């Protein structure tokens, strides 16, 4: 989006800012336009609750390390007690735990992190979905049937508990405390790194599990100029050093260790039991994290090959590239997540950050992908304000740069409104 394509917007802004400066003659405007704020979605550390099992020494150690590394407030540490080491929690036991957790969680908490790998299931639900929604058989299915959809799917909502009364949940799953620490370190290292990685969409010979491949070509056409995307017709991806996204469909994915996953990378395989983290006849989703990925997903109950029960690659990529955290982007990519387990470092945010600078009497703002919407443009003669609305700026899908030329010197900030910008 360049100013040359929107001359009317620039003229209106110039006129409004000039009037504002005349009214505020007691303030000295900056010598050139300065942007003080441009919003980018993303969960903050004080909005994440850490659930720790005090009867599990590994859970206690992981929680302590994670809280320190992420600067999460002590008040957000939520204590529970249950016998560790089981794959499944009975629903009756879980209901009591959930009641305690929700009663203890500070009101500002919008999402949860679990600090154990087992249990990963509550009766017929994945434990991450059970903590998010509460236990309800509507999120389950016996046989090849659809389940209840999530209102959070592909939404622009930044505070899911405030809006939907749900708290998306992710497990810091690992086979040991040392592995969990390495996972956390990768997530922290990813923040704001804006990695020059590639999305690999692997189309396998497993027809039942390759159902997502039908959308690969359209996804590449839509997002190729935002992120390099390769469609690979093979059962394995090998010897790649820049893996940012890896989506495939197989019971077992070979050659994982031959690839290098960048910090913050997301990877998963569509199959029946990836979320059964230990002892399954299929590859555990933990294998992705052990190979270097920072987030993954798998089913804990036979989902059949409904694409809606698995991450939609284009949705998770779009939300992640807009600057959302891993937990937000991944959760928003699954339409019916009741049987699916989310694992990884929740706050990983590799694409955070909007750069802005004065440029030839105007302003340029850049990001890997700006969130589409209608933005209120506010200006002030002083960094401290008062800020007043001077116009509105529509930002369409796929925008990476905004240039507004020939703006009067002032301090500017942008506030995203709820309604989306029209896509042209």
Choosing from 321, 344, 367, the residue where a domain stops is 344
pLDDT digits (tens, 9 = 90+) for 302-339: 999 999 999 999 999 999 999 999 999 999 999 999 99
Say if 349 falls within a structural domain.
no
Residues 378 and 302 reside in one and the same domain: no
Say if 97 falls within a structural domain.
yes
Strand 111-114 versus strand 169-171 pairing type: parallel
Residue percentage of the chain with pLDDT more than 70? 92
77 φψ region: left (φ > 0), alpha (ψ -120 to 50), beta (else): beta
pLDDT digits (tens, 9 = 90+) for 41-76: 899 999 999 999 999 999 999 999 999 999 999 999
pTM for the complete prediction? Answer: 0.92
Coil vs helix vs strand at 216? helix
Residues 190 and 310 reside in one and the same domain: yes
Residues 156 and 304 reside in one and the same domain: yes
Say if 351 falls within a structural domain.
no
The pLDDT value given to residue 14: 56
Q: How many CB atoms lie within 10 A of CB 424?
A: 8
Cβ atoms of 376 and 29 within 8 Å: the answer is no
- What is the rounded average pLDDT of the residues 188-195? 97
Give strand pairing partners of 199.
229, 245
Choosing from 302, 319, 344, the residue where a domain stops is 344
Give strand pairing partners of 233.
203
pLDDT at 2 over 80: no
61 φψ region: left (φ > 0), alpha (ψ -120 to 50), beta (else): alpha
Residues 52 and 26 reside in one and the same domain: no
Say if 331 falls within a structural domain.
yes
Domain limits at 30?
A: 3-40+356-416
3-state helix, strand, coil in the chain (%, to 5): 30, 25, 50
CA distance readout (Å), 76 to 99, 236, 249, 277: 16, 41, 37, 27
Closest Cα to residue 210, out of 124, 313, 140, 295? 313
Residues 375 and 360 reside in one and the same domain: yes
Domain count within the chain: 2
Choosing from 322, 344, 366, the residue where a domain stops is 344
CA distance readout (Å), 250 to 103, 246, 265, 315, 339: 41, 12, 19, 21, 18
Residues 142 and 244 reside in one and the same domain: yes
Cβ atoms of 242 and 414 within 8 Å: the answer is no
């Amino acid at each position: 989006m360049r100013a040359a394509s929107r001359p009317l917007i620039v003229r209106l802004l110039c006129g409004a800012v000039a009037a504002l400066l005349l009214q505020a003659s007691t303030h000295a405007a900056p010598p050139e336009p300065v942007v003080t704020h441009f919003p980018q979605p993303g969960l903050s550390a004080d909005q994440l609750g850490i659930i720790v099992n005090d009867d599990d020494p590994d859970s206690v150690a992981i929680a302590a390390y994670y809280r320190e590394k992420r600067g999460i407030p002590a008040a957000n540490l939520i204590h529970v007690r249950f016998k560790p080491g089981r794959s499944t929690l009975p629903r009756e036991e879980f209901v009591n735990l959930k009641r305690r957790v929700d009663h203890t969680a500070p009101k500002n908490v919008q999402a949860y992190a679990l600090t154990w790998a087992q249990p990963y299931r509550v009766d017929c639900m994945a434990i991450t979905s059970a903590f998010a929604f509460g236990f309800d058989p509507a999120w389950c299915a016996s046989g090849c049937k659809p389940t209840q959809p999530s209102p959070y799917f592909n939404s622009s909502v930044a505070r899911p508990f405030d809006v939907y009364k749900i708290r998306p949940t992710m497990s810091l799953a690992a086979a040991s405390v040392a592995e969990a620490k390495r996972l956390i370190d990768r997530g922290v290292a990813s923040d704001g790194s804006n990695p020059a990685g590639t999305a690999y969409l692997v189309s396998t010979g497993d027809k039942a599990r390759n159902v997502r491949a039908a959308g690969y070509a359209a996804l590449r056409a839509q997002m190729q100029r935002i992120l390099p995307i390769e469609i690979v017709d093979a059962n394995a991806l090998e010897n790649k050093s820049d893996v940012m996204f890896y989506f495939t469909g197989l019971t077992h994915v070979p050659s994982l260790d031959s690839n290098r996953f960048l910090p913050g990378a997301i990877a998963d395989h569509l199959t029946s039991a990836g979320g059964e983290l230990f002892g399954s006849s299929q590859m555990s989703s933990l294998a992705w994290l052990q190979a270097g990925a920072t987030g993954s997903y798998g089913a804990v109950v036979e989902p059949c090959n409904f694409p809606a029960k698995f991450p939609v690659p284009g949705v998770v990529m779009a939300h992640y590239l807009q600057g959302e955290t891993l937990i937000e982007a991944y959760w928003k990519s699954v339409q019916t997540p009741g049987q699916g387990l989310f694992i990884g470092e929740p706050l990983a945010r590799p694409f955070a950050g909007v750069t802005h600078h004065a440029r030839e009497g105007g302003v340029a703002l850049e990001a890997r992908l700006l969130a589409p919407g209608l933005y209120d443009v506010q200006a002030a003669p002083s960094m401290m304000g008062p800020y007043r609305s001077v116009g509105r700026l529509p930002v369409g899908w796929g925008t990476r740069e905004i240039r507004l030329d020939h703006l009067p010197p002032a301090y500017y900030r942008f506030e995203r409104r709820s309604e989306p910008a029209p896509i042209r």
